[in-house]
Amino acid sequence: MNTKFFIHWSQLLYDSDVKGTSKIRLYIAFLMIMLLGGTLILSSVKSLFTASRVITSTGSIVSGISPLHAVGKYLKDLNNNTVWLRGVGAWQFNDDPDAIFMGNSIWNVNNVKAELDAMKSWGINVVRSAQAVEHWKYDMNQPNAGINHRQAIKTLLTLMAERGMYFIYTGYQVTDYWHGGNQDPFPYPPYQTSRGASSVIANQQEFVDWWASIATELKDYPNVLFELWNEPHGDITAAAIWVDTMQKSINAIRATGAQQPIIAAWDMACWVNLNYPPPQNQASTMDWVFLANLNDTAKNLIYTTHYYTTYGHIGLNGGHVYDYDNIKLGFQYFKFPEVLQSYPLLIGEFAANMDTDTTNELIAFDNTMKIFEEWHIQYTAWVWRDALFGRLHGGPPSFAPTLGGSVLKTHLAIPPPT
């Protein structure tokens, strides 16, 4: 709206006035200007507010999704609504820079939309996806795909924003499977295991620079979250080095102006033997969170770990734990409640094994999510594929849920807290 138009209109009212009514008409005009001016101010404020909620990509503006901010154990949007991230891991980018959607290894935006719509129909609002470092660093494309990695990610973020969905971008390996990539405990020497990895990331600083590059290009997308690395693990010396790496990466991301949540991890998962629990006996817990004492100027950190029943992460009497009470006790030993006193907690991987001991695995899967709901823990279940032991669906085009997928869908149908 044009303020000059209203000023000019009020002047006309005054100029055409007769002596007896000039004050009244001028007063009315003044009120109208003030009212419309107020509307313009409110509109400007609204525009500023909305600007922080929209993303610009591929020439279009997408609204309807808010950036997230940590408030204690909760994630809040711009309206202070609690957002509960519940979704799946989708390992579709590991093999190809443009990912695989609907079983097709060549980029097709309609396939991406169809798969996201299937996820949305389940109630999924977040997807965690591990990446090969070289895909982003060199902006690689699959031959004949017609789209490079960075644009594929941006397009995906735009399509997900349209559906009210968030995306967790994390590193898993330095080079992809086609180039001899493997799960790298750390993304730089001497901890790499991927073939040719040192030529992609030669040292800690190059890894920090990789994150700065990602944050620079994605900082205007409110629905992306940055997870620094998938399952970083090693000895005590490696742990100290990794804490330093996380802090430098956090600083580099924030230096770009990116304010999105950053997800921090250490070790492959938590585990404990309930027969011989800590502190007297060895266990893997979330104690590292408090020892690391990471600093984030945006105060927007999330902590994460993984939990697999099938791998015996909670043991009792030489076996795995499936019942609610013992799983909850194990989570208490993991120090989940202590983390939740100050930070959101995301369980980035957990699953029901569809190949072995399926009955008990489904019981554990169900009980695990009950505790997540009780404690308000964010989660991404493993895995949105029709293969691997934790498979959640039977493949496109129907994406019919497996038994594990059916349990997940039941929990996703539970309304999030307001």
Residue segments in the chain with a per-residue pLDDT below the cut of 50:
1-61
Answer yes or no: are the C-beta atoms of 100 and 392 closer than 8 Å: no
Same domain, 12 and 70: no
Q: What is the pLDDT of residues 303-350, one digit of tens each?
A: 999 999 999 999 999 899 999 999 999 999 999 999 999 999 999 999
Predicted local confidence at residue 92, as pLDDT: 84
Same domain, 125 and 260: yes
What CATH number does the domain containing 379 carry? Answer: 3.20.20.80
Predicted local confidence at residue 14, as pLDDT: 30
Structural domain includes residue 122: yes
CA distance 416 to 233: 33
Q: What is the pLDDT of residues 31-59, one digit of tens each?
A: 333 333 443 333 333 333 333 333 333 33
Predicted local confidence at residue 418, as pLDDT: 64
- CB contact set of 363 (below 8 Å; sequence gap of 6+): 322, 323
Structural domain includes residue 363: yes
Same domain, 362 and 288: yes
Structural domain includes residue 72: yes
Structural domain includes residue 52: no
Question: Which residues span the domain enclosing 247?
Answer: 59-412
Same domain, 246 and 308: yes
CA distance 230 to 182: 12
- CB contact set of 236 (below 8 Å; sequence gap of 6+): none
Same domain, 378 and 404: yes
CA distance 180 to 170: 19
Structural domain includes residue 417: no
Same domain, 212 and 349: yes
Same domain, 183 and 318: yes
Same domain, 104 and 15: no
Relative orientation angle of helices 403-412 and 109-122, to the nearest 10 degrees: 70
Same domain, 31 and 66: no
Answer yes or no: are the C-beta atoms of 192 and 204 closer than 8 Å: no
φ, ψ of residue 363 in degrees (nearest 5): -65, -45
- The four Cα atoms 183, 376, 90, 99 give a dihedral, to 10 degrees, of -100
- The pTM for the full model equals 0.85
Answer yes or no: are the C-beta atoms of 172 and 134 closer than 8 Å: no
| Paired strand residues for 57 | 60
For the CA atoms of the chain, what is the radius of gyration? 25
Same domain, 205 and 64: yes
Please name the amino acid found at residue 104: N
Last residue of a domain, one of 12, 27, 47: 47
Q: How many domains does the chain have?
A: 2
Structural domain includes residue 77: yes
Predicted local confidence at residue 269, as pLDDT: 96
Predicted local confidence at residue 200, as pLDDT: 98
